[in-house]
């Protein structure tokens, strides 16, 4: 059977108004065109083809991250929304599964350099533990494996901020092939059948723009998270 082209595959639209449109980004798909996507299949190109109109990126999610992704409908709207991101009037929340047990909420205030050549700039992430598990599966020199389900709120939007901040805290996100712990990522793949980065943009709150009402957007929990919750986080 012939496979559908990227013109035929549709992205899930979560919310929209006259100024913007939010989609549920799948893990593994780039936000915008890049040398990493030679087939040109990105969230922006797929949404453009689906709508038959140009869209403008106002923030980005890493290729491996899923969840709420916002685009503006015009360049003027993109400028307004970018200002909202800059003054922190837009709230984003994520869920993540990290190595080890985190028992208390906290704030990670650790500057991040956007590139190897740039100076570190302010980067702040708030985190709240939701649940902890201990699996009877040996990883490395330990007989069991501990994990925490986290609620994350970035107050800034730096490159790989959540992944780098959790690695700095020594609780890297599971499935992170750059900043994470390869032994735990391998265990998730081999024992649990989970092959993705365990980071999901679960919600985004956008203030009113002119006469439009505010938007409170949520993205459904991905199958891999739902599987883990059902099997190991029954108290969630």
Active site residues: 62
Burial of 8 by CB count in 10 Å (0-12 exposed, 13-18 middle, 19+ buried)?
Answer: exposed
Three-state secondary structure of 145-210? EEEEEEEEEECCCCCCHHHHHHHHCCCCECCCCCCCCHHHHHHHHHHHCCCCCCEEEEEEEECCCC
How is residue 226 annotated by DSSP?
A: H
Query: What span, in angstroms and rounded, lies between the C-alpha atoms of 129 and 97?
Result: 10
Which long-range contacts (C-beta less than 8 Å, at least 24 apart) are formed by 213-219?
A: 215/15, 215/17, 215/20, 215/22, 217/14, 217/15, 217/22, 217/68, 217/70, 218/14, 218/68, 219/14, 219/24, 219/25, 219/66, 219/67, 219/68
Nearest to 201 by CA among 25, 14, 10, 20: 25
User: Helix (H, G, I), strand (E, B), or coil: what is residue 78?
Assistant: helix
Q: List beta partners, residue 131.
A: 149
């Amino acid at each position: 059977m012939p496979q559908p082209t990227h013109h035929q595959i549709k992205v899930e639209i979560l919310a929209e108004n006259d100024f913007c449109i939010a989609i549920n980004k799948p893990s593994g798909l780039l936000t915008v065109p890049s040398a990493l996507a030679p087939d040109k299949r990105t969230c922006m190109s797929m949404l453009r083809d689906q709508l038959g109109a140009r869209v403008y990126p106002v923030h980005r999610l890493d290729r491996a991250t899923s969840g709420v992704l916002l685009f503006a409908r015009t360049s003027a709207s993109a400028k307004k929304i970018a200002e909202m991101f800059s003054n922190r009037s837009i709230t984003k929340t994520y869920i993540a599964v990290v190595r080890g047990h985190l028992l208390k909420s906290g704030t990670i205030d650790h500057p991040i350099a956007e590139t190897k050549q740039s100076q570190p700039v302010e980067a702040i992430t708030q985190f709240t533990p939701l649940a902890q598990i201990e699996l009877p599966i040996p990883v490395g020199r330990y007989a069991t494996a501990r994990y925490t389900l986290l609620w994350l709120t970035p107050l800034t939007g730096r490159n790989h901020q959540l992944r780098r901040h959790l690695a700095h805290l020594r609780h890297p996100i599971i499935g992170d092939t750059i900043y994470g712990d390869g032994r735990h990522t391998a265990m998730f793949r081999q024992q649990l059948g989970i092959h993705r980065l365990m980071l999901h943009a679960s919600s985004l709150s956008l203030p009113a723009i002119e006469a439009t009402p505010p938007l409170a957007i949520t993205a459904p929990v991905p199958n891999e998270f739902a599987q883990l919750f059902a099997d190991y986080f029954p108290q969630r």
